[in-house]
Amino acid sequence: MILDAIVRRSLRDRWRSLVACQVGLLALVTVQMAVYPTVRDTSTDWEGAVESFPEALREILRLEDYTSPTGYLSTELLSFVVPFIFMTLGATWGARVTAEEEEGGTADITWTLPITRREYLASRWTTGIVVLVMTTLVFTSALWIGNLLLDMRISIDHFGNVGLMLFLTGLTSFALAGTVGTSTGRRSVGLGVAMVVLITGFVFYSLAPLVDFFASINPYNPLQWMLGARPLTSGVSIGYVALLMTLSAVGFASSDGAFRGRDIRV
């Protein structure tokens, strides 16, 4: 019961920001879906415009079959914007896993609850998973509805693939920020380190087609695992899924070890 109460309290305290994030995602999907009929009806012009882009730009943006339904959504929503939203959402919730109580001055009350530190940590991780699942369902449902209204004829299993990869993207970011935030007791440090790592990884991923060194390390780049799967067009990469799940598991284990070993001052 105590663990359930912690999850409910965490969601209740942040419900406004969570709703705002999901409303923003819905607005983003609505705008991009509203534009697609114009792209589809003038596909020849758009194909010519894309071909006129410098080759380097086309490679950085991964512009492939832009006028098709899957190509359009992959480029406009899934190449960076929405994954970045999930990265930020995961990192934001992860950074406050335990650091929020310490910085807020309520740790002395929380740590007197009849639960272990591991149980408390598990409840906060559960909250993050619930947030990511809710946001994933909202986004993929909006895509599916738009797909039906615009007769895009994209199979529902492709949207399931999208949802899985976005969820794992957010979970990996959550794990990274959670590990750092729990180890240091500082939300700003957890969020800052996570975003620096993620943005650096994105730069390497984006420039991999142009820089041989980046291309050589791209298979080991978590951003390649997150963004390179192209779930709408290529399906789910089992290897990438396994790698992201492993990173998340390592993050939880590291957070648990750091949290139980820290001398927390309140």
pTM: 0.89
Residue 170 counted as domain residue:
yes
- Residue 14, pLDDT score: 82
Residue 194 counted as domain residue:
yes
Ranges of the chain whose pLDDT falls below 70: 1-3, 46-47, 49-50, 52-63, 104-112, 262-266
Residue whose pair of structure tokens reads 């080991």 in the numeric block:
220
- Residue 60, pLDDT score: 66
Counted domains in the chain: 1
Residue 57: exposed, middle, or buried by beta-carbon count in 10 A (0-12, 13-18, 19+)?
exposed
Residue 132 counted as domain residue:
yes
Residue type present at position 119 = E
Residue 77 counted as domain residue:
yes
| Per-residue pLDDT tens digits for 249-261 | 998 899 888 777 7
Long-range (24+ apart) CB contacts under 8 A made by 13-18 are 14/93, 18/131, 18/134, 18/135
Q: Identify whether the C-beta of residue 189 lies closer than 8 Å to the C-beta of residue 264.
A: no
Q: Quote the DSSP letter at residue 66.
A: T
Residue 266 counted as domain residue:
no
Task: Identify the domain containing residue 133 by its residue range.
Answer: 2-261
- Residue 162, pLDDT score: 93
| Per-residue pLDDT tens digits for 156-175 | 889 999 999 999 999 999 99
Residue 55 counted as domain residue:
yes
| Per-residue pLDDT tens digits for 52-63 | 666 666 666 666
DSSP 3-state assignment of 172? helix
- Residue 65, pLDDT score: 76
Residue 164 counted as domain residue:
yes
